[in-house]
Amino acid sequence: MKDKIKDVSLKVHHEKKLRKIFWLVLALIILCLMLFYFVVGILYNRGNFSITMEQDLYFDYGLLIYDDPEYKVFRTELLAPSPNVFDDMLEAWIPEDIANLGGGSHNGDDYLAYTFYMENTSENITDYWVSVTISDVIKNMDEAVRIKLYRNQEPSTFAKMSIDGDPEEGTTPFAKDDLVTSWHVENFAPGSIDEYTLVIWVDGDDLECTDNILGGEFKIQMNFTKEAYNTAEN
């Protein structure tokens, strides 16, 4: 009788131990999922477009980026607010004076528009490199994206190659899948200011603007560096 009671007691103890292990494992799984979604949420809540500058450009060259001429402070990153949605649209819907509205955000209902400045605050002539990169894509949404970049009021529009292998009408093809374009700014004189406006939208005339990209995401980054974008590593 005592042995039977002991066996039952051991069985109950074993079951309690298994239940504790089960709930502990379940809690760990839930915690990991929450952490994953928290990190992903942070990444995507940072917006579709960001500007980064190597800190050496400030400390070594005296370069400064800002989006408000009345508030010039050192920073290595600017974040452009995103529109609520990126429904497909036409370029004709974007105001012709979009690059003349001053610094900061000028978003429309379905497009992102953001103006900022690069200034040489030093007493020396210097230079810098610029690259515009695709840092993340979901559901190939970048296939139908247009990126119109104004530098000192001069625009250039970029897009991925069309489905038939030709450049999209009125655009310059991406340099690579993850590299939109890059260039070198030389002889940037003391006191000089370069004004940049970037406009991003999903083009409704693009043949790849289909239901297949619904729910997609994309993130674009503009990088200011001392050295050229390394295509061998990207």
31-46 in b/e form (b: 16+ CB < 10 A) is eeeeeeeeeeeeeeee
What is the C-alpha to C-alpha distance for residues 191 and 92, in angstroms, rounded to an integer? 35
Bigger pLDDT: 14 or 222? Answer: 222
- Beta-carbon contacts of 125 under 8 Å, excluding residues fewer than 6 positions away, are 187, 188, 189, 190
Bigger pLDDT: 224 or 15? Answer: 224
Question: Which residue type is seen at 223?
Answer: N
> pLDDT-derived band of residue 16, with 50, 70 and 90 as boundaries?
low
Please state the φ and ψ torsions of residue 62, each to the nearest 5 degrees: 75, 25
pLDDT, mean over the chain:
85
Given this model, what pLDDT does residue 36 score? 35
Residue 196 pLDDT exceeds 60: yes
What is the C-alpha to C-alpha distance for residues 182 and 175, in angstroms, rounded to an integer? 8
Express each pLDDT in 44-75 by its tens digit. Answer: 444 689 999 999 999 999 999 999 999 999 99
Query: Structure tokens of 116?
Result: 């900022």
Report angle CA 198, 46, 148 to the nearest 5 degrees: 15
> pLDDT-derived band of residue 98, with 50, 70 and 90 as boundaries?
very high
Residue 127 pLDDT exceeds 90: yes
C-alpha distance from residue 200 to each of 50, 79, 131, 172 (Å):
12, 14, 16, 14
Given this model, what pLDDT does residue 61 score? 96
Whether the CA torsion 209, 213, 217, 220 is positive or negative: it is: negative
Residue 31 pLDDT exceeds 60: no
Among the listed ranges 23-32, 60-69, 119-128, 216-225, which one has the minimum average pLDDT value? 23-32
Given this model, what pLDDT does residue 63 score? 97
Bigger pLDDT: 136 or 122? Answer: 122
Residue 10 pLDDT exceeds 60: no
Does pTM surpass 0.85?
A: no
> pLDDT-derived band of residue 99, with 50, 70 and 90 as boundaries?
very high
Query: Structure tokens of 1?
Result: 């009788």
Residue 34 pLDDT exceeds 50: no
Residue 171 pLDDT exceeds 60: yes
Whether the CA torsion 221, 170, 95, 217 is positive or negative: it is: negative
Quickly count: other Cβ atoms within 10 Å of residue 108's Cβ.
Answer: 15
Q: Are strands 49-53 and 77-80 parallel, antiparallel or unpaired?
A: antiparallel
Given this model, what pLDDT does residue 44 score? 43
